[in-house]
Structure formats: C-alpha cells, structure tokens
Structure 1
Amino acid sequence: MEVKIGVQHAPREINIESAQSADEVETAVAEALSGTSKLLTLVDEHGRKVLIPADRLAYVEIGEPATRRVGFGAAL
C-alpha cells in the first residue's frame, strides 16, 4: 500500500510502501488524530517502523497497492 504523509514545517512529504492494509493505516491515523496515541506508527514493506508525532500531521494519502514491475522498458 502506498502511503504519503505530509508533516507540518517539513519541506517534503514522507512516502512509504506499507505491507499494512488501507483499513489498518486508516485506523492508525484515526487513533493518532483522536489523541489515543501520540504517534502515528506505520510499518513499511521491509519491516521498518516510521514514527511521526500526531500533532505534526498535515495530511495522509492512502493509495492503491503497488504493482510490481518487471523489466527495463517504459510502459506505453
């Protein structure tokens, strides 16, 4: 699942490929924004944790599951 996270006072967004489902990411974001958790914690496809302070979240964009590309040619 592709997840883009905007952080306040940061010039770039954070892009991760997460093994979590869209529902799991949405639940984690909702818990962080409701005050249940002070950190938004996501796990990328390599098992690394990404921790972002909930009070610094600007936006979270949850995309489609990434498809694996094979080969070197450009898609037409």
Structure 2
Amino acid sequence: MDIRIGIKDSPREIAFDSAQTAQEIESAVIAALGAGHLTLDDAKGRRYLVPSAQIAYVEIGSETTRKIGFVA
C-alpha cells in the first residue's frame, strides 16, 4: 500500500510503502486524530511517528503490484 503524509508548514511529504491494508491505515489515522500521534510501519520494518497536530493530509494509494523491469 502506497502512503503519503503531508506535514503542515513543510514543503516535503513522507512517502513509503506499507504492508498494512487500506482499512488498517484508515483506522490508525482516525485513531491518531484523538490520540496525539500517528504510528505506521513500512514494508521494510521502519516505524514512522507523526504528531497528529502536524498532519495536513494522508493519501492512501493503491496496493503495491509487482514491478516490471530490473530489481536492485
């Protein structure tokens, strides 16, 4: 699942692939709005912690498909 998180007052965004489903990510984002911070894991095992007050938007993309071509 492709995830993009926009941060307030920052021109850059956080972008990563996650093994979680779209429903799990949506539930985590909704829970984070009241909890104070958003916690998500990417497909490589890294964890992202974002203060919910700084979240401008969360874009949940399509599920990752097999890429065609050379893989490094």
Both structures adopt the same fold (TM-score exceeding 0.5): yes
**Partner of 1:61 in structure 2?**
59
User: Is 1:70 the equivalent of 2:64?
Assistant: no
Q: After superposition, where does 1:45-56 map in structure 2 within 5 Å?
A: 45-56=43-54
Q: Give the unaligned 5+ runs of structure 2.
A: none
Aligned length: 70
Take 2:54 and 2:41, find their aligned partners in 1: how far apart are those partners?
A: 18
Structure 1 gap segments, 5+ residues each: none
How far has the Cα of 1:70 moved from its partner?
Answer: 3.0
Cα offset, 1:16, TM superposition = 0.9
- What TM-score do the two structures reach when normalised by structure 2? 0.91
**Counterpart position of 2:27:** 27
TM-score normalised per structure 1: 0.86
Equivalent residue for 2:42, pick from 37, 41, 44: 44
Moved over 4 A (4+): none
Shift of 1:10: 1.1
| One-letter amino acid of the structure 1 residue matched with residue 63 of structure 2 | P
Provide, for residues 34-65 of structure 1, a one-character-per-residue CA deviation record: whole Å limited to 9, x for no partner: x1x21100000011100100000000010101
Counterpart of 1:6? 6
- What is the alpha-carbon root mean square deviation over aligned residues? 1.0
| 1:9 partner amino acid | D
